[in-house]
Amino acid sequence: MLNLTENQETFSKQVPKNLLANVLYFIINVVIGLFLVPFFIDSLGVASYALVPLATSITSYVNLVVQSLNTSVSRYLTIDLQKKEFEKANLTFNTALFGTLGIILLMLPFVILISYYAPSFFEIPTNQENAARILFLGVISSFLLRAWGSNFGVSLFAYNRLDLQNLINAVNILVQVGLIVLLFRFYSPSLVYIGLAYLIGAAVAFILTIVFSRKINPHLKVNIKDFRRSKVNEITEMGGWVIINQIGSLLFLQIDLIVVNKLFGAVAGGEYSVVLTWSMMLRTVAGMLVGVLTPVILTYYAKGKIDELINISKSTVKFTGLAMALPIGYICGFAPQLLTLWVGPEFAKLSLLMILMLSHLVINLPVMLLFAINVAYNKVRIPGIVTFVMGIGNILLAVIIPYLTGWNYYGVALAGAIMLTLKNAFFTTWYATKVLGISKTTFMNSMIPGVVAMIITGVVTSLIANYFQMSSIISLLICGIILTAVYMSVVWKFGLKQFEKQIAGSLIPVKIRSRLSHEAKCDR
């Protein structure tokens, strides 16, 4: 179970609430994501739409330093607050707050330069140059504002209030989308309005983050006198290697869209972005599952409960693999039908690209939690170096495969699948076991059930697609509900051990758990 200590029932009870909040936030993301792509394509065209995910991918690089330092701050601040060392926590908080503000101010000139010269670097449709500049400026600035605000959000993470973090994120995305739709309808479709909507949404989220942070954690006070150079060294020593790791991760996850845009043009980038939407959704699902337990991992470490940390890590890798196997197998099996019904029959040709981009995620998403182990133990140097080197290898392979084979953006997707799987299936799983001092194959074994389940699900859905006519969203939805019911029943009966069933049960909200237990007793 997830009880951390006898006096931490509140922390434990918060986990199912966080999971429910993550599910609701994910549903909002899916609904909006599925709505926005065809909305943008119809309003702007494929080539102009491609600039939106391209701009957001650039923010990942601009925002790199700040987010990496926040990962380091989360580690130190969570440990300080769990040990009730509030004076020390204030030093960490204010050092990070004013340090990251300084970094952001230094980055602003580069943000302006990147935005201004974006039309010179990327393939941008004619007469869209100025609109593209404002889009890039608005989107990048919004991410920097959210990044600075995340210093306040660390308190929500430390006290396991991920439900409030998700509420803030939901408000941010709803404000963005609401403004985009209104501005498009009342004025005209323009990339300018997208950049403006992102910036306003970020400002609203920033204010909410400060309000919730002060309510949940009144112990932290903004005071520039608590800025300490010694703390800067402590944070940046770890944060520096996290930056290297993040750069490597971005070379895996964000570089492909840039490569496609530069090698094959804006239209190809738009088509690639359509499939990339599904990949990002699945990553959001995995992040939802893993994110719920990341504060638990850090708290187990702070409390010295290493056996519990190991058990929950193994179970989470297995849970995530089995949870991801169903949607991945379903989407890959019904790829032509989903693309046709979603964005039109002319996009059904991208079904092979979808399979290439999604199938390997059943291996690469469950290992996300293992990075939290590296952070908890402050063992981020070697993973950072390996991720960076293999990220460079991914870029080279993404250029070489299309050049040698003529496979266009299929070669780019294949390169990412190969390099990411090699890194996570072998190095990431092995290094986490080395840090914990357990068997080298522990986490690899935990991933196998998910791989098997994904293959079976994909084969079953492909057979259904071949023998039955899936010509409407309703038919796909009904099929998905039936498959989900069957899949969950089989996994619960044959795929989980008793201990794992107990952990799964602890993720159910207490009121629902009590009601189910009462009904079970009545049935007896």
Hey, how many other C-beta atoms are within 10 angstroms of the C-beta on 517? 11
CA distance 114 to 404: 32
- Tens-level pLDDT at each residue, the chain (524 residues): 444 444 444 555 666 777 777 778 778 877 887 777 788 888 877 777 777 777 776 665 555 555 556 666 777 777 777 777 888 888 878 887 887 788 788 878 888 887 887 777 776 766 778 888 888 888 888 888 887 888 888 778 777 787 888 888 889 889 988 998 899 888 888 888 888 998 999 899 999 999 998 888 888 888 888 777 766 666 666 556 666 666 667 676 767 888 888 888 878 888 888 888 888 888 877 877 777 777 778 778 877 888 888 888 888 889 889 989 999 999 999 999 999 988 888 889 999 999 999 999 999 999 888 888 887 888 888 888 888 888 888 899 999 999 899 899 999 999 999 999 999 999 999 999 999 999 999 999 999 999 999 999 999 999 998 888 777 888 888 998 999 999 989 988 888 877 777 766 666 655 555 554 544 455 45
CA distance 59 to 61: 5
First-to-last C-alpha distance (Å) of the chain: 25
* HEC-encoded secondary structure of 419-448: HHHHHHHHHHHHHHHHHHCCCCCHHHHHHH
- What tokens does 47 get? 């080539």
The distance between the two most distant Cα atoms of the chain, rounded to a whole number of Å, is: 72
CA distance 251 to 399: 13
Q: How far is CA 84 from its chain centroid?
A: 30
Cβ 421 vs Cβ 360: under 8 Å: yes
Cβ 325 vs Cβ 453: under 8 Å: yes
Nearest in space to 143 (alpha carbons), one of 95, 104, 115: 104
Cβ 339 vs Cβ 348: under 8 Å: yes
Cβ 254 vs Cβ 57: under 8 Å: yes
Cβ 159 vs Cβ 299: under 8 Å: no
Hey, how many other C-beta atoms are within 10 angstroms of the C-beta on 494? 8
**Where would I find the beta strands (DSSP E) of 150-308?**
none
HSE (CB half, 13 Å, CA atoms) of 278? 27
What letter represents residue 121's amino acid? F
What letter represents residue 86's amino acid? F
Q: What is the pLDDT of residue 232?
A: 66
